[in-house]
Amino acid sequence: MDAASFIMKQTTNSQSSYVCVCARVTEEDFRKIINESDTATYGELKSLYGIGDRCTSCEFEIKDLLDECLTEKIIAQRAAKLAAPPAAKKPAKRVSPFERLLQRLRGVTPEKPKSAAAKKAEPAGPVRETYRTGMFFLRNAEMEATLAVSNLQFPEHTTNPNGEVTFDVKLHGEDGRLLATSQKIRLANNASIEMTAGELFPEVKGDVVGAMYPEFENLVQTGSLRPYAVMINKTPRAGLARCHYHDKFALFTDPGFFQTNSPFEPGETCWMAISNCQTKRYESDYHLKYGDTILDGKLALEPMASRWVKLEELFPGLDQKAPELSPALFWLENPQHVMVYFFWRLEAGNVWMAQHH
Amino acid sequence: MSMTKIKIPKRPREWVPSAFLLIHTPNISCTIRYTPMQHRRNPDARYFSHVKIFGNSAIEPVWETKSGPLPLQSNFALESGAIAADLGIDKLFHYGEVLNSSPDFNPPDPNVSMASHLHYRSTDGSFYGGVSSFTIFGAPRRIERGAYHYEAFPSMRVDEEKYFSVYIINPFVRPAGFWVQIVTKDGEKIESERCVVRGKGVASWSSKGLEIPRDKNPLGVIVRSETKTTSVFTTSTRDGKMIGLDHGHPFLLQVLNHVRPVTVAAGGGGVLREA
C-alpha cells in the first residue's frame, strides 16, 4: 500500500491504540471478532459490540479494516479448502463467497430472521419520556434572556418521530422560589421559536435573576430540541449582545468542576451566571490564582437559586490592571453539579460574549 | 444461523485529542488555554498538553508545542500572535488539535478528552467569543447519523440588522463536503451549494448575502456534512460586530434523561496508577 492510500484509509492521524475509542476495541480485538465469529457487517459491529456506534469518528477506519479483515478471512478459508482432501461433491452454489462478501459490504444481504427471544425483547412502540432541562435567566434594564428552540426533523427521515412537541417552562427566581410556569407551548415539526420572558411569563414584572426550566413531554428522542437561551442587549449603551448559551441542567451526581481561565483579560469585564439546579443547597469556596497569588472566598446558593455577579465583586481590592492577571484561573471548589456560564463585555468593540462550563 | 458474540476484554479508557479553530489577523487574536482543573481534580497527577497546528498537509503539523509536566492548578496559555510570528505570517485561519492528558490516570468516564479553552478577541469587536475545544472521539450520548452527519443550531436571525456565519472544523485527514441548511420559522428549507473543508482544516460559510423576510425568522440551521465535522455558529451585526458565538449539537437519538439521570460510572477514575 502506498503512503497516499494509507493516509486516505485513516480517519485521523491520532496515535490511538484503539480502532474504536468509545468501545475501547484494539485492532487485535477487532481481528479476533472478525476471525472467530460470523460478524461481517458494519451494522453488526455496531449492534453487537458498540463499535462505531457512539461518536462515529472511527467509521471510515472501521469500514476499511472490516473490508481488509474479511478479505483476509476469505483468502485464508479458500487456502484451507484447497489444502484439505476433496470432499463429496455438493451442488453448485449460485453465489460465490467473495460475491456474498461484496453483497454484505454493499449492505444488500437480507436480514437474518430474528429468534423468538429477540422478537419478544423488542418494545411494542417507541418509548416516550420527559426531557427536563434548564438555563440561566436574566432580565434587567440593560439585558434580557430569551428562550430559543428549534424542532427540526432529521433531514433524512420522512417524519419527525416527536411530531409536534409540547412543553412548558418554569421560572425560578434569585432566591430559588418558583416565580411562574408558562402556558403549554406547541412547536410544530420544523418550526423554531424565540420567546421573551414577557411572552412566557406575563405575570412576572421587573428585574429577574434566575433560571428557566423547559419540560418537554412525551419525546421519542431529543433530536434538535436542546434549548438555548439568548442574552440580548436592550439598549446599545449596554453593549451589543445576541449570545446563545445552551442548556446545562442535569441531576447528575458526577462531579462538575467549574472554572474559567480567562477571568480578568485586559479590556474585558467578566460576569459569572450561576444557577443551583439541584434541590439541595450549594456551598463552595471559590479561588482566583494568578502568578503565585491565590485569593479565596465563599459562595452559597439555596436550592434552585441563581446569582449574576461581576467577578471583580468577588475579590474586593483586586487591582484589575495588574499584568499578571492574564492568564489567571478562577474556579469553584465544590463539584456538586450546578449550571455555570461566564459572560464577558469587551470595551473596545462594545460587544458581549458567553461561554458555558 | 445465530449471531455469535466474541468476548473481548474491557480495556481502560485513554486520553484523546480535541479540535479547535485558530484565527489571527492584525485585528483579531485568540488565546488557547488549558487547565487540568476539570474532569477529575487529582493533585498528585502530572498533566501534559500537546498542541498541533495544521496547514496544507493533513498529516504533518506546521507548528506544534508540548508542555512540560503541569500541576493541577496551572494555566498553560498559548497566544495566536506568537504562533503567527513563529510561522512568519500575520494571518491564521487554521485547524488546531490539542491532546491534554495525564500519564498517571485514565479517563474516568466516556468524556475522554480534556478540553482547552479558546478565547477570541478583537480590537474592533469583529470576532469575539469563547468556546472549548471540540470532542473528536468519545461520546456519552448516541447521535443520529444517516448518509451524512448533521449538527443543528436553533433560532438564528437573518434580517436587515443581523446575519449568521458557520465555521466548520474537520478533524479528519479526509476532506469533506458540507452544506448549510436554513429552516425558516414556517418550515421552508433553503440549502447552500456544496462547500468543501479540507482534511485537518477549517472553513466558513456566511448568510451575509441572504435576504430573508423578518417574519420568516427565527431560523433553524443545520449543517450537513460528509464526515463528522464540528460547527461553530456566530451572530454578527451588519456593521461588522460579532455579538454571539456558540457550538451546535448533533441530533440526539435518546431523550436526555435529566429527570431520572443515570450516573456515568466513574470506572476508577482519579485513582493514580501505581508507579
pLDDT of residue B274: 38
In sequence order, the 6+-apart residues with CB closer than 8 A to the CB of B4 are: A36, A37, A38, A39
CATH architecture of residue range(s) A129-246: Sandwich (2.60)
CB contact under 8 A, A262 and B131: no
pLDDT of residue B38: 82
CB contact under 8 A, A129 and B255: yes
CB contact under 8 A, B130 and A353: yes
- Closest CA of chain A from B93, distance in Å: 20
What residues of chain B score a pLDDT lower than 70?
A: 1-3, 39, 258-275
Mutate to test the interface with B, among A261, A341, A357 (most CBs of B within 10 A): A261
DSSP reduced 3-state for B261:
coil
The residue of chain B nearest to residue A37, with distances taken between CA atoms, is B4
pTM: 0.87
Contacts of A25 in chain B (CB under 8 A): 8, 11
pLDDT of residue A229: 97
CB contact under 8 A, A154 and B144: yes
In sequence order, the 6+-apart residues with CB closer than 8 A to the CB of B176 are: B170, B196, B197, B199, B225, B226, B227, B229
Closest partner residue to A257 (CB to CB) among B31, B39, B110 is: B39
CB contact under 8 A, A193 and B218: yes
pLDDT of residue B25: 97
Residue B243 in contact with residue A242, Cβ under 8 Å? yes
The sign one gets for the Cα dihedral A93, A97, A99, A101 is: positive
- Closest CA of chain B from A130, distance in Å: 7
pLDDT of residue A341: 96
Closest partner residue to B6 (CB to CB) among A37, A155, A267 is: A37
The residue of chain B nearest to residue A259, with distances taken between CA atoms, is B37
CB contact under 8 A, B123 and A349: yes
Closest partner residue to B237 (CB to CB) among A49, A240, A262 is: A240
**Residue among B164, B212, B149, B165 nearest B186 (CA):** B212
Cell triple for B73: 492548578
CB contact under 8 A, A16 and B243: no
Going by DSSP bridges, is the β-strand pair B92-101/B18-24 parallel, antiparallel, or unpaired? antiparallel
**Alpha-carbon distance values, B182 to A66, A126, A225, B155 (Å):** 37, 29, 16, 10
CB contact under 8 A, B220 and A260: no
- Closest CA of chain B from A2, distance in Å: 15
Residue A169 in contact with residue A214, Cβ under 8 Å? yes
- ipTM at complex level: 0.91
DSSP reduced 3-state for B272:
coil
DSSP B8-25: ---PPP----EEEEEEE-
DSSP A18-68: EEETTTTEEHHHHHHHHHHS---SHHHHHHHH-TTSSS-TTHHHHHHHHHH
What residues of chain A score a pLDDT lower than 50?
A: 1, 109-111
Domain spans of chain A, in order of start = 3-110, 129-246, 259-356
In sequence order, the 6+-apart residues with CB closer than 8 A to the CB of A227 are: A133, A135, A147, A148, A149, A214, A246, A247, B154
Question: How many other CB atoms are there within 10 angstroms of residue A287's CB atom?
Answer: 17
**Residue among B67, B66, B38, B73 nearest A291 (CA):** B73
**Residue among B228, B200, B149 nearest B22 (CA):** B200
Contacts of B192 in chain A (CB under 8 A): none
pLDDT of residue A100: 66
The residue of chain A nearest to residue B162, with distances taken between CA atoms, is A242
